[in-house]
Structure 1
Amino acid sequence: MVQNPARRTALADAAIEVLARDGARGLTFRAVDVQAGVPNGTASNYFANRDHLLHQTARHIHHRLTPDPAVIADLLRAPRDRALVTALMHDLIRRISADRAGYLAMLELRLEATRRPGLRAQLTGTIREQLEANVAYHLDGGLPGDRETVLVLYLAMTGLIVEHLTLPEVLGTDTLPALIDTIVERIVPAT
């Protein structure tokens, strides 16, 4: 396999765009090459097969969706209370909305994982690891609530994100900030 990290990243970014636009069935080496604007055959030089492309794309999506440490550090200057959790959830929605293709691609990968046991195992491990890291971060950071609080908040926010990115007219984008506030208020205990 070719080892040009910048080109590999560009191809992974192109694969995310293809997944978001065309779904998993549309994710081909040729489609990635076209999206990346590289010569035909380039993607196949970087990814051994379609499964490898799917796995590497999933890893790259998680990298793209990782919060900016500077933004998080700035947010964490606030007291460890419900208002901070609310600010963190608003930041989450801001990041997801800014990289809509990344999250839609992740949804496509989740659907594809129902048909590919190897991808399902990888995504399950990655998502579980991230969820556990979020629980630990919440608890270790002294944020209000317990493990169950984080799990219920995760499920509520995931549902809101799916609705917002796939059928935004159902809830309307004007109501999104108030819905986030309500979710946190109903789930996270006051301190």
Structure 2
Amino acid sequence: MRQNPARRAALLDAAIEVLAREGSRGLTLRAVDAGAGVPVGTSSNYFANRAELLRQIMERTGERLTPDPEALAETMKAPTSPELVALLLRQVHERMEADRSSYLAMMELRLEGVRRPELGAELNKRLRATLEDNIRFHEEAGLPGDRVAVILMYLAVHGMIVDDLMVPDVLAGSAGELIDELCKRLLAYGTRETA
């Protein structure tokens, strides 16, 4: 397999676009080559098979959707509060909107993972680790809310993102307001319970 990291990244970026636009059935090595503007057969030099391509797409979407460490550090200078949690969640939403293709590709990977147990197992492992990393980040930063609150926010915000990206008229542009309200209600509720 070829090891040119820049070429591999370009092929994976093209694959993400194909997967987001055409779905799993449209994702072929030939379609990736066309999307990347490279000669036919180039992708087969980088990905041994479709399963390997899907696995690497999963990794690449994670890279593309991860927050910039410097921007995150700047955000975390604010005092810990429900408002800071809401800001962090709005930033998640903004990243997904800015890289809609990566998020849609991840949705396609989830569907494909139902059909391909080996991909499903890898997705479960990776997404579970990401959730645990988010919980750990939340707790170590001293943000309000416990483990269950973080899981509930994860479920609510990701569900909202699905509708916002796939059927945008359902929410009609109120995602930021809904995130603010979610944090206010959920984190205030948790505060009352522990007081």
Shorter-chain TM band: over 0.9
CA RMSD of aligned residues (A): 1.0
Answer yes or no: is 1:29 the counterpart of 2:43: no
SS at 1:171 equivalent: coil
Count of matched residue pairs:
190
2:154 aligned partner: 154
Unpaired stretches in structure 2, ≥5 consecutive residues: none
- 1:1-191 alignment to 2 at 5 Å? 1-173=1-173, 175-189=174-188
TM-score, normalised via structure 1 length: 0.97
In 2: Cα distance, 1:126 partner to 1:144 partner: 25
Q: Distance in 2 between matches of 1:51 and 1:39?
A: 21
CA distance in structure 1 between the aligned counterparts of 2:78 and 2:3, rounded to whole angstroms: 43
1:11 alignment partner AA: L
Q: Deviations over 1:25-67 (max 9, x none)?
A: 1100000000000000000110000000000000100010000
> In structure 1, what residue type is equivalent to 2:107?
L
Tell me the distance in 1 between the aligned counterparts of 2:24 and 2:63.
19
CA distance in 1, matches of 2:23, 2:183: 32
> CA separation in 2, counterparts of 1:186 and 1:116?
39
The gaps in structure 1 that reach 5 residues or longer are: none
**2:182 counterpart SS class:** helix
Q: CA deviation at 1:155?
A: 0.3
1:184 Cα shift? 1.4
For 1:131 and 1:176, the matched residues in 2 are separated by: 21
Letter in 2 for 1:183: L
User: Partners in 1 of 2:38 and 2:103 — Cα distance?
Assistant: 24
Separation in 2 of the partners of 1:6 and 1:129?
A: 27
Identity value in percent:
53
| TM-score, scaled relative to structure 2 | 0.95
Matched to 2:87, the amino acid is: A
